[in-house]
Amino acid sequence: MSSSIPTTMKAVDIRNGKGDASALFINDQTPVPQPTGSQALVKIKAFGLNRMDLLQREGNYPVPAGAPKTLGVEFSGTIAQLPDSSDVEHGWKVGDEVFGLAYGGAYAEYIAVSTHMLIHKPSELSWEICAGIPETWITATQALFLIGEFKKGQSVLWHAGASSVSIAGIQLAKGEGASAIYVTASSQEKIDFCKNLGATQGFNYKESNWSEELLKATDGKGVDVIVDFVGASYFNQNLDAVARDGRIVNLGFLGGNTLKGDVDIGRFLRKRCRFEGSSLRSRDETYQGKLRDQLVEHALPRFKDGRFHVPVEKVFKMSEVKQAHELMESNQTKGKLICVVD
């Protein structure tokens, strides 16, 4: 370790390894990670919160093998150290301002992360905005294009419309020429928020049968791509709402993972539709690197000129991470929650 880099750092830890938000605390004796292979050591300026962090904190999220136990997968900061390794991606140097995606460890002052998952931070964007891009926008890119096989002129439904991934997805779909973009959300306020981002129409799942309303809006056709975070409780309605030759991309199980009651699976044949589950964190570095490149090519220019936005609900200090987790758990947010390293 370089003499200018400390051996220990502040990082968010969890008392007894798992628990509710009150179990979070700042451990100032956390060892600074040492980069190996393709990794750089990055001094973190800010990191983004994601729902997987809540699940991991509770002990309900399978962390990839070899990932640090510290929470957090997206961050912004400066390169503090580059090992002398042929695996390090060319073009990086100490002092570069970056943001990126990691397998874990972002709730800290330093992180060891593959150079293949780093992106140069544009001067037009703040540290906080950049920390809110990697996980959500790469996940939305994967769901819409790689798994959902979206093409210009098709229609899309994003469940949890005001969630960070769907906020990214609405903008991506609009930018790539979707014929219509629908969302589900828990309030009219959230629906209006999604419309301001580019959504065509939204359905309040608390006040109506959203699949019936969507079929009315599409004259019975349904939508070409559905991106779902809810799981079992929406499975039946998703099969109603998907169009012929459509794709349902499942990314989570907020509504459970066990189907109850009778479900007509004949719709898979009648509609020739496809249901496919996917994840990002469990993917290998090569797969994630391709998504990084796609993000840099298609989205980064639109961030720089203002066509794409990262709405930030609130910025906390790292020492306020408990309050940040509690706010995310309230399901009242319309955008990213960011922590800055203080």
Q: Compute the distance between CA of residue 255 and CA of residue 87 in angstroms, rounded to an integer.
A: 42
Residues 309 and 335: beta-carbon distance below 8 Å: no
Q: What is the DSSP string of 21-46?
A: GGGEEEEEEEEPP---TTEEEEEEEE
Domain boundary pick from 223, 258, 277: 277
Task: Report the CATH number at residue 50.
Answer: 3.90.180.10
Q: Which amino acid, 48?
A: G
Query: According to the model, what pLDDT value does residue 184 have?
Result: 97
In this predicted model, what pLDDT tens digit does every residue of 222-232 receive, in sequence order?
999 999 999 99
Kindly state whether residue 60 falls inside one of the protein's structural domains.
Answer: yes
Q: How many domains does the chain have?
A: 2
Domain presence at residue 199: yes
C-alpha separations of 22 from 13, 19, 108, 322, 323 in Å: 11, 7, 18, 6, 9
**Domain encompassing residue 179:** 136-277
In this structure, what DSSP letter does residue 116 have?
Answer: G
Is residue 215 domain-resident? yes
Half-sphere exposure of 170 (CA within 13 A, CB side): 29
Read out DSSP for 269-290?
HHHT-EEEE--STTS-HHHHHH
Residue 19 lies in a domain: yes
Quick check: 73 and 102 in contact, CB under 8 A?
yes
Q: Does residue 289 form part of some domain?
A: no
Q: Residue 72: name the closest of 105, 40, 99 by CA.
A: 105
Dump pLDDT digits (tens) for 93-141.
Answer: 999 999 999 999 999 999 999 999 999 999 999 999 999 999 999 999 9
Helix, strand, coil shares, percent, the chain, to 5: 35, 25, 40
**What is the CATH number for 145?**
3.40.50.720
* pTM for the full predicted model: 0.87
CA angle 244, 253, 332 (to 5 degrees): 105
Give residue 109's pLDDT. 98
Residue carrying structure tokens 């300026």: 45
Report which of 147, 142, 72, 74 is spatially closest to residue 288, judged by C-alpha positions.
Answer: 142
Give the pairing of strands 118-120 and 97-101: antiparallel
Q: Using CA atoms, how far apart are residues 293 and 300, in angstroms rounded to an integer?
A: 10
Six token digits for residue 292: 């990084």
DSSP category for residue 65: T
Domain presence at residue 299: no
147 with 106, same domain: the answer is: no
Domain presence at residue 214? yes
The verdict on 199 and 255 lying in the same domain is yes
Based on the domain organization, do 261 and 246 belong to the same domain?
yes
Same domain, 150 and 205: yes
Both 197 and 124 in one domain: the answer is no
Same domain assignment for residues 129 and 140: no
Q: Identify the CA nearest to 82 among candidates 112, 60, 126.
A: 112
- Give the pLDDT means over successive 10-residue stretches in the chain (342 positions): 83 96 97 93 97 94 88 97 82 95 96 94 97 94 94 97 93 96 96 96 96 98 97 95 98 88 93 91 81 88 94 96 96 91 92
Same domain, 17 and 100: yes
**CA dist 69 → 23, 32, 39, 95, 304 (Å):** 15, 13, 17, 26, 33
Is residue 293, in this structure, part of any structural domain at all? no
